[in-house]
Structure 1
Amino acid sequence: MTGRLVALLALLATTHAFIDDALDVIKLGKEIGEEVLMSWDVIGKPFNATGGVELPLVRRRERQVLARLAGVSRAIERLELALDKSDAVAMLMAQSGGRGARLELRLTDLADLLARVDGAEKQMRKYVQLQGQLERSTLEQFAAWCVSPDRGALPGLLERAHALLVPPHQHLLGRSLLQLVLDDLQEVHPDLCELQLSPHQLIHDMYNTVSLTEIKGYAMMQFSWMLLRIYGKGNFTQEASLTRQRYSERSTQTAAAARAALAMASRDLHRCDPPAHVEGQTYAEVTRLLQGYIENEVDMNPDGTCKENCAFYTLAENHGCFRDLYCQRQQKCEGRILECQYIDSDMWVCPAGRNSNRRYEWIEYENGRTLGHAGTCMRGSTKVDSWWRWLFWHCSYCMCLCEESGPQSHRYFSLREATSDSKNNKVVTGVRLVKLGRVFHLQVSQGSLGERGHVTPDGWVSVQAFDPEDMGVKDTVDYHTLTYEKRAIDLDQLDSPEGHILTGVRFRMHGPHLHFEIRSTPFNYTTGRLSADKSQWISNDNTDGAEIPRSKLHLYRPDIPTRTHTPLPVDSKHDQYIEFVNTDLEADAAQSTVPFIDIQPVQPLKGAAMLSGAGVIHRGARGSGGFIAVSLRTYDYTRHIKAEAPPKDFEDVETADFAPMVN
């Protein structure tokens, strides 16, 4: 064996190690291209053999080529397993109901073509495993199919799949399938939360799936040319070169189409309404912040008089229980009484259950007005009547709002940071809101960042629970207390600068608003290494009093959001804010605080995806209180999508020890 051949084999061994570590289709395609080129160098230049007798070297070279093909197949299979976790084409097919016929037909065609190439590649793997038991004619026939010009053979399948993504004559054949998918995702079906993939991720994964199919096809075709050459069917140097050129052209065009689609695809991701709302599992509530409360005006002033009317009591408190009337039969408001109004003198009141956060189930006035959903009353309804005092003072029962602290008041938000262990190269892979005791916390999941965007999930980072009354815990430092004056939360979608990745989230106070921030850390995409010491906190510090003010998202007569029978879409925008308020009087007797808090985790690909941003959003609709929820922004892969062309030349190499049989 010549010195050059020894060097080539050593280089091939090194290349196999690199292929074993390939984490994405771009790197894998480049390295398989190099593997193919060096394999051509190893098999050498054919020349005529005499006697028509199959030489042992033919079998040896066949085994060498198939061994290298087996190494390539293993690398493809490993990456394929990773991509199967988010098979974009399969997901789109599963969600195809209601889509346009044009898109559905093209997705079906693409799925069929990819499946046929995949089936051929699996058959090739089987042949490689059983090579010692197969007749040469079996391998020869398969190799011939892999390079045949017939439309149904492998090259034809690859060309037809490519034409769906990059139509050769767009003015005749229409737009790219990637563009049709993008239009569908962002216009017809804007919510991908049930898939836990952003449109950007779905387009990127679709590109990966098609690119991996191209790599499979390229490897099968090149190694087929090698086998045919070993079997003495010809030289095939020019054919192999044309295969490489066409693979390079298709890869370049597909990458350009993918970049164009990715640049326009949304990277935002959130959760939709679950099949069933379950308190403590899918949502939680802020309680006893603002709640409907019945109080007679005689008990709202220290003099015990009825000189004023209900509207006078915009800010008051309970001063007693006059003559042990209805006040004796309900839990009094231990805090501030706000925004009282007169509705009618007499009413029937249905008290809530003893373990409920509500005070009343419903209230029905004698004038016919009903607050809440009147019906049966488990604890029995109570007649409540206003009265006259000294003939000219009317002691009216007022409908007010109660704001009170205490064990039943869950209105605290943690201001502590929720971060990944960036010093050990871990990044945020998911975010959720959790309620521990009476306090709402931000919680993150983390994963180890590797080369070229590879993330290994590592689970949820534990949250240290605390109570506002714990020793050493301070308001405005460790937590924020929602009050009538400070009950706004900012709604923003934040993103990291280019070259940065998400490593933390937190709430802080910005004036009277609860404000959301993200921690962003620079990293090297190729190596996957974080620069933890250069992390920075990013926020949108605009206020409602600025020159271009932050706008308020108003809730119109909000009811309890779990009563809504239709999905609640995202109705907030970046640079808005919303206030926690009581539910509507008519709808719910003002007994609940809305919005509710969505505590479903947002974690794309089960913690195996890169994120660059996060936010706080509101999902709701007219007549519903909706949900405050977290959202994520997935990493922008656009600038990393580029075709790596295989090496250009297949040079014949003289090898003294190889003489394939010629039939």
Structure 2
Amino acid sequence: MSVRRARALLAVLALATCAHALLDDALEVIKLSKEIGEEVLSSWDIIGKPFNVTGGVELPLVRRREREVLARLGQVSRALEKLELGVEKSETIAILIAKSVGRGARLELRLLEMSDLLSRIASADRRMREYVRYQRELERDTLENFAKWCVSHDPGALPDLLERVHSLIVPPHKNLLGRGLLQLVLDDLQQDHPDLCEFQLSQHQLIYDMYNTISLTEIKGYAMMQFSWMLLRIYGKGNFTQEASLTRTRYGERTSQTAAAARAALVLAQRDLYRCDPPHHKLGETYAEVTRLLQGYVENEVDMNTEGTCRDNCAYYTLAENHHCFADQFCQKQKICKGRIIDCQYIDSDMWICPARLHSNRRYDWIEYENGRTFGRVGSCMQGTTKVDSWWRWLFWHCSYCMCLCDDASYDSDRYFSLWDATSDVKNNKVVTGLKLVKLGRVFHLQVAEGTLGERGVVTPGNWVPVQKFDPLDPGMRDGVDFHTLSYERRAVDLDELDSPAGSILTGVRFRMLGAHLHFEIRSTPFNFTTGRLYPEKSIWLSNDNTDGNAEKPRKRLELHRPDIPTRTQTPLPVDSSHDQYIEFTHSDFEADAAQSTVPFIDIQPVMPMKGASLASGAGVIHRGSRGSGGFLAVKLSTYDFARHVRAAAPPTAFEEEDTTEFSPAIN
């Protein structure tokens, strides 16, 4: 990646990172905007209406009013600090964004400019907070000069900085300056399809966080300008009633236009959240496997019929089983398939087989036939190769070794999926904040993380809901009720991406059986966005019950073309599935892997927003893969759609001045 692109991506960090925890705190930007507007309005009341005086004003009175205004400003400052509590720029986030796809030059320049502007406004805000903290030790000139800068018309003063920020979001002349920054970011994300999954943010979240950052900056600027007018009025520099009113009006215009731009981008932004390939695949940490479902198996035809004859050929045995071990041949040297033997084929008479190491899920590491054909990656053999030769019986019957598939649901085969619900504690107002597939013993389970829902989409992070481990052989466990057993006929998994209706959020997931397919469902619960209250009694389970047998629009099968082991792939595996498809667990390719592995593998990485908790409305089961790879079966989340909740909260439109003679600054 070029230095220019990396710089642009780090500029995104300046916009997005400082908003990551906004919704994790007690207040939300829109609500805070309204509260600060009301605080500013009430603060004008303590100044009073000025009137002409002849004798001037005593300094203690000026200082008292100054302290009262700064105390109000301190309250506003603490509210802003509460919103920013715990927000730190993370080196990890910077690295993840830097690895993302490059930005164009136009976008890069605008991001860098926005980063610079926000940094300068944040610096002014920090200075203001210091002045509030040390107000008793400060000279009047210090506060007065700062207040003048906050309302100055000079280039580089606070009003100019705020207007420049706004012009990047809502260009004043679109025909000349083009589209706004939020739309440019979204266009770039969608065009180049970056792996946002690397840092667990959906496009929707990224745009929403940028909007929150900009909105928070507007609130800071508005508060600084309004309190500056108050201070200047106290210091006898003028009335400033009209100026304060114009400041309020312009703030309302900017925030309204910014909200409209954010809504337009959010409506188009994708809300998908899933995991990418990790830097290094590790069994049991990033992926797990269904084992020995359909596995390549070498068997002589003489052992696949009760008569012990060789009068048929390999192709005859489409469905068979082992009946004996004739004359202690190769069958004596390998573990017998005690289940069904399926789809046999003749490759060549003689071969060298490299048996897999003890306790491996494989039977063979590789096979090399006498005709030169190879199955698997031929190389060294830790166990030593075994020569396997077909033979003639009674001159005219050839007892051939066949390459078949073994479907053996023995204790060595991990092929079970739990059908138990995985839900959040809705009675205690908890929602799903994370999702993953886990393998406990021989069984795969869905597991959810939960968090407590609060006002306006605020979610307090919680923990992963414990999964109860069981074995299919445990007393009382029922196939088709408590778990599903994969088999040759029942190995399909439906690939669906489900979302809750408007006004509802995700509170549970589960698998159930739909015919012979393992089928995914979500639980959706209505809630009140303003109060954060869930309505558990109105929860419903949602699914896409379409099947491949539908005559009008059948569910489509996702084909795996000669699939190799997915961990061997050197390039990232993208999502190649779509809603309303299904995939079948199958064996890996004969040539690539001697059909020893069951694919797809299972991605067990947790899917959870980087904030630790975020509102989710949907979930799904997807496949990440490419041609020639078995890929990974994985889960995804859909982040909540905040678009309809984004709106500007205009400050109060007017304040009334009361007649008072208690204090009136002299007009200098």
User: TM over 0.5: same fold?
Assistant: yes
State the TM-score bracket (shorter-chain normalisation).
over 0.9
The one-letter code of the counterpart of 2:336 is: K
1:305 alignment partner, SS class: coil
| Residue 631 (structure 1) shift | 0.3
State the match for 1:238 in structure 2.
242
State the match for 1:472 in structure 2.
476
Quick one: distance in 1 between partners of 2:403 and 2:123?
71
**1:392-411 equivalences in 2 (<5 Å):** 392-411=396-415
**1:110-149 equivalences in 2 (<5 Å):** 110-149=114-153
**1:37-116 equivalences in 2 (<5 Å):** 37-52=41-56, 54-81=58-85, 94=98, 98-116=102-120
The one-letter code of the counterpart of 2:162 is: L
Matching residue within 605, 609, 631 for 2:610: 605
Matching residue within 253, 257, 260 for 1:256: 260
Quick one: distance in 1 between partners of 2:649 and 2:80?
16
Residue 440 (str. 1) matches residue 444 (str. 2): yes
Contact 1:415 1:479 in 2 (8 A): yes
Matching residue within 24, 28, 52 for 1:24: 28
Q: Deviations over 1:165-211 (max 9, x none)?
A: 10011110011111111111122134210111110111111100000
> Structure 1 residues 422, 455: closer, same or farther in 2, change over 3 A?
same
Residue 615 (str. 1) matches residue 633 (str. 2): no
> Structure 1 residues 650, 95: closer, same or farther in 2, change over 3 A?
farther
Quick one: distance in 2 between partners of 1:369 and 1:264?
52
| Residue 54 (structure 1) shift | 3.8
| Residue 457 (structure 1) shift | 0.8
Residue 334 (str. 1) matches residue 338 (str. 2): yes
| Residue 349 (structure 1) shift | 0.4
| Structure 1 segments (4+ residues) deviating >6 Å | 85-93
1:607 alignment partner, SS class: coil
The one-letter code of the counterpart of 1:511 is: G
The one-letter code of the counterpart of 2:604 is: I
The one-letter code of the counterpart of 1:398 is: C
The one-letter code of the counterpart of 2:595 is: A
2:179 alignment partner, SS class: coil
> Structure 1 residues 39, 87: closer, same or farther in 2, change over 3 A?
farther
State the match for 2:353 in structure 1.
349
Q: Deviations over 1:428-465 (max 9, x none)?
A: 00100000000000000000000000000111000000
2:511 alignment partner, SS class: strand
| Residue 404 (structure 1) shift | 0.5
Contact 1:85 1:605 in 2 (8 A): no
**1:527-606 equivalences in 2 (<5 Å):** 527-546=531-550, 547-606=552-611
**1:207-218 equivalences in 2 (<5 Å):** 207-218=211-222
> Structure 1 residues 274, 93: closer, same or farther in 2, change over 3 A?
closer
Quick one: distance in 2 between partners of 1:432 and 1:248?
43
Quick one: distance in 2 between partners of 1:462 and 1:229?
61
Contact 1:88 1:203 in 2 (8 A): no
Matching residue within 360, 364, 367 for 1:360: 364
2:549 alignment partner, SS class: coil
Residue 417 (str. 1) matches residue 415 (str. 2): no
State the match for 1:369 in structure 2.
373
The one-letter code of the counterpart of 1:139 is: L
1:459 alignment partner, SS class: coil
The one-letter code of the counterpart of 2:445 is: H
Residue 456 (str. 1) matches residue 456 (str. 2): no
| Residue 85 (structure 1) shift | 7.8
| Residue 150 (structure 1) shift | 1.2
Quick one: distance in 2 between partners of 1:236 and 1:532?
53
Contact 1:293 1:400 in 2 (8 A): yes
Residue 497 (str. 1) matches residue 462 (str. 2): no
The one-letter code of the counterpart of 2:150 is: C
Contact 1:55 1:661 in 2 (8 A): no
| Residue 607 (structure 1) shift | 3.3
TM-score, normalised via structure 2 length: 0.94
Contact 2:366 2:593 in 1 (8 A): yes
The one-letter code of the counterpart of 1:650 is: F
Q: Deviations over 1:222-263 (max 9, x none)?
A: 000000000000000011011011100000000000000000
| Residue 658 (structure 1) shift | 1.4
Name structure 1 gaps, 5 residues minimum. Answer: 1-19
Contact 1:83 1:208 in 2 (8 A): no
Quick one: distance in 1 between partners of 2:96 and 2:75?
31
Quick one: distance in 2 between partners of 1:486 and 1:632?
26
Matching residue within 625, 648, 655 for 2:653: 648
| Residue 80 (structure 1) shift | 2.1
Contact 1:93 1:104 in 2 (8 A): no
Contact 1:485 1:512 in 2 (8 A): yes
Single out whichever of 649-658 and 588-597 deviates more from structure 2.
649-658
Matching residue within 210, 228, 232 for 1:228: 232
| Residue 95 (structure 1) shift | 5.2
Name structure 2 gaps, 5 residues minimum. Answer: 1-23
State the match for 1:273 in structure 2.
277
Contact 2:602 2:634 in 1 (8 A): yes
| Residue 406 (structure 1) shift | 1.8
Quick one: distance in 1 between partners of 2:609 and 2:141?
48
1:484 alignment partner, SS class: coil
State the match for 1:6 in structure 2.
none
The one-letter code of the counterpart of 2:272 is: D
Q: Deviations over 1:341-386 (max 9, x none)?
A: 0000000000001021000000000100000000000111111100
Quick one: distance in 2 between partners of 1:111 and 1:95?
19
| Residue 81 (structure 1) shift | 2.9
Residue 625 (str. 1) matches residue 630 (str. 2): yes
Contact 1:26 1:644 in 2 (8 A): yes
> Structure 1 residues 589, 508: closer, same or farther in 2, change over 3 A?
same
| Residue 50 (structure 1) shift | 4.2
TM-score, normalised via structure 1 length: 0.95
| Residue 90 (structure 1) shift | 6.8
Q: Deviations over 1:46-80 (max 9, x none)?
A: 23454456431211111111111111111111112
Quick one: distance in 2 between partners of 1:218 and 1:52?
31
The one-letter code of the counterpart of 2:232 is: L
State the match for 2:315 in structure 1.
311
The one-letter code of the counterpart of 2:495 is: L
Quick one: distance in 1 between partners of 2:362 and 2:287?
17
> Structure 1 residues 90, 589: closer, same or farther in 2, change over 3 A?
closer
State the match for 2:292 in structure 1.
288
State the match for 2:197 in structure 1.
193
1:152 alignment partner, SS class: coil
The one-letter code of the counterpart of 1:616 is: V
| Residue 650 (structure 1) shift | 3.1
Matching residue within 656, 664, 667 for 1:659: 664
Aligned-pair identity in percent equals 74
| Residue 498 (structure 1) shift | 0.3
2:196 alignment partner, SS class: coil
| Residue correspondences, number | 644
> CA-atom RMSD, angstroms?
1.7
| Residue 89 (structure 1) shift | 11
